[in-house]
Amino acid sequence: MNHPIRIHGWDLALNHSGLVEMDGEGRVTWFKYVTSKPTQAKAAWGGVHLSIKPKNKTDRHQHMIDRLLWWSHYLLNVIAERNPTHICIEDYALSGKGMVHHIGELGGVARIASVMSGAKLRLHDPVTLKMYVAHNGAAKPEEMEESVYKRWPKTKIWSQLPTEARLDLVVGYALCRVLLDEINLRSGKLRLDTLDPKEIQAFMRVTKSNPVNLLGREFINYEAQQ
């Protein structure tokens, strides 16, 4: 028996994130935004407080582990409650500055949780996502937000949320949307030649990291090691 498509788009950062769920018809069926700021978590519906405080201000390592454990439990609970069939996460765009290794650790937790759940995982580099949504691979966050609102007006329900929440949910939605279009292209419900040239470019582009275009790559699945 085939389960209905349930797509998740996760825009993950250490202290704030947006998670969006979309069904096979493109309808948003669930969303949450996570923030370390309690007032923002209470500002509107869908807010979740990342309530990790340093137990010892001199022991930053303990705080980092506590935060990573919080995220691990939270993502596993989301997967258990929502049972996504597909999960899309933005791939790393690390500048080499700041807490890049901690960002990588969170990304690793999310990837492992996704594939171990049995969901099909897709990673999108930021340029591909921006090209697909805003038709500009160098689009700024505000341009992404504007493009999402314009192309999919129902997302304006988030327009009154705090800035971080809005921008995170916009990216989460964008991740869902590009993955849904990929699924529909693969099934024949959508034709590539009906898309905008920049959207076609996003699906067909290759890079040093990804020498095979998106439609030529399989979804990432869990394969038990023998």
The angle at the Cα of 44, spanning 40 to 177, to the nearest 5 degrees, equals 100
The percent of residues in the chain predicted with pLDDT above 90, rounded, is 72
**Average pLDDT of the chain, as a whole number:** 90
Delineate the domains of the chain, giving CATH numbers in brackets: 6-215 (3.30.420.10)
Give the model's pLDDT for residue 157: 93
Give the contacts of 130 (CB within 8 A, at least 6 positions apart).
136, 137, 138, 139, 144
Q: What is the mean pLDDT of residues 23-36?
A: 96
For residue range 60-93, what is the model confidence (pLDDT) as tens digits? 788 888 889 999 999 999 999 999 999 999 887 5
133 close to 174: Cβ distance less than 8 angstroms: yes
- Beta bridge mates, 10: 19, 89
- Beta bridge mates, 218: none
194 close to 41: Cβ distance less than 8 angstroms: no
pLDDT bin (cut points 50, 70, 90) of residue 24 is very high
Give the model's pLDDT for residue 75: 97
Q: What is the mean pLDDT of residues 184-200?
A: 97
Give the model's pLDDT for residue 154: 95
Give the model's pLDDT for residue 143: 96
Give the contacts of 12 (CB within 8 A, at least 6 positions apart).
71, 89, 90, 106, 107, 110
**What gap in Å lies between CA 93 and CA 124, rounded to an integer?**
10
Whether the predicted pLDDT of 203 surpasses 90? yes
Give the number of other CB atoms < 10 A from CB of residue 117.
Answer: 18
pLDDT bin (cut points 50, 70, 90) of residue 204 is very high
**What gap in Å lies between CA 138 and CA 132, rounded to an integer?**
11
Give the model's pLDDT for residue 211: 94
The percent of residues in the chain predicted with pLDDT above 70, rounded, is 90
Coil, helix or strand at residue 152: coil
Whether the predicted pLDDT of 206 surpasses 80? yes
Give the model's pLDDT for residue 190: 97
